[in-house]
Amino acid sequence: MGAGAPGVAGAAMGGSQHGGSAGSFGGTVGVGGGGRSAAGGSSAAGRGGAGGAGGSSGGPSSGGASPLGKFVGNITTGNSIDTGGMKYSKYWDQITPENSGKWGSVQGSATGAFNWSALDAVYAYTETNHIIFKQHTFVWGSQQPSGTPTLAQVENWIKSFCQRYPNTRLIDVVNEPPPHTTPNYTANLGAGETGTYGWITKAFKLARQHCPGAILILNDYNNIEYADQENHFIDIVKQIKAAGAPIDAVGAQSHALRTMSASQLQKNLDTMASGTGLPIYITEYDIGEANDATQLATYKAQIPIFRNTAAVKGITIWGWINGRTWVANTGLVNGTTPRSAMTWLMGELGRPVPPN
């Protein structure tokens, strides 16, 4: 989702195995290992201990993707990271670029030059501040280059990204699969693959080939909100796994949870975990509420479920500066003044409360 994304269908904007340690979401998660930055330099190993990348608290490890500690992250604000004098990495241990990682933001046409400037800045920030970088997104039915990209052009995009940003830890390989969105180049991308979703399978194969250390995710909306859409998403995952897609995890955007009960949310998460057999990332969580008390109540009911569900490996909240988020009233900070949900969340995570 994000600015420029298609609207969520139906009632989506009205407004997902138990166990695990609630405490595993606390503190600051460091990215382990170090690696080459966008500018070609060398970053220091990250801080973090058991909660750090490669620690013991979970995450997929298939296909060369090392496990990550559980995290609670957020997104860029426009193309900014630190904002209003507040340092992003004090409050969030992971970042997703809201728009600058989408193919169409980097390359206006499939035959044109790459413009990495905005994405370079986000990646460099993660290397300097030792927080997790998540890419959003390689293949999508929106915000893509003009024209009809060829298979070679799709691969060049993925290969070029992976070479430039080698410490990318998580990737939304395909975002919002059918019926939500369908790229206009599926026939080119899926050539030689079998099944209804051969193009998705191929996208995952390319991502594994060129970004072997990243956790590869199929991301969608409404897939832990509505039973029919959850079942359809699970079916897609089963089909691409059977076709050989090296998928590591699933992503649940979670834009439509505002009125969902805690018991229903837990049931839907359990269904997703058992149905796909994969870890879950909450990728775009937001609660659009102008009333601070109501937003706080929803956070207090739902965040502990994510924290205590073993299958859930991380949460990304879709914006934190109120008035500058994709959905109205989802922000957690007014200017530099925290809303009640932000104060509560930082307390739960053992992190400072803005503007500190």
pLDDT in tens, 183-210: 999 999 999 999 999 999 999 999 999 9
62 pLDDT higher than 90 = no
3-state secondary structure of 166: coil
Question: Does 284 participate in catalysis according to the annotation?
Answer: yes
- The single residue listed with the structure tokens 């991308």 is 189
The CATH code of domain 22-349 reads 3.20.20.80
The alpha carbon of 246 is separated from its chain's Cα centroid by a whole number of angstroms, namely 18
What's the pLDDT score for residue 67? Answer: 73
**SS3 state of residue 249:** strand
Structure confidence at residue 168 (pLDDT): 98
Return the closest-CA partner of residue 330 out of 77, 71, 9, 70: 77
pLDDT for 26 beyond 80: no
For the chain, the domains span 22-349
Q: What is the pLDDT of residue 261?
A: 96
At 36, is the pLDDT very low, low, confident or very high (cuts 50, 70, 90)? very low
Per DSSP, helices labelled H in 165-285 are 186-189, 198-210, 227-242, 262-276
Question: Could you report the per-residue pLDDT of 67-108, keeping only the tens digit for each?
Answer: 788 999 999 999 899 999 999 999 999 999 999 999 999 999
Mean pLDDT over the full length of the chain: 86
48 pLDDT higher than 70: no
Nearest to 174 by CA among 199, 153, 208: 199
Whether residue 98 lies in the annotated active site: no
Nearest to 106 by CA among 123, 91, 90: 123
Catalytic residue among 176, 193, 289, 348: 176
CA separation, residue 115 to residues 34, 111, 171 (Å) = 25, 12, 19
User: So what's the pLDDT on residue 221?
Assistant: 98
Q: Which two tokens stand for residue 335?
A: 């200017």
pLDDT at residue 34 above 50? no
Confidence (pLDDT) at 10: 32
pTM of the predicted model as reported, rounded to 2 decimal places: 0.85
Residue found by looking up tokens 């290992």 in the block: 33
- Choosing from 98, 127, 155, 284, the catalytic residue is 284
Helix (H/G/I), strand (E/B), else coil: 320: coil
For range 140-152, the mean pLDDT: 97
β-pair partners for 256 = none
- The DSSP H or E segment spanning 75 is strand 71-75
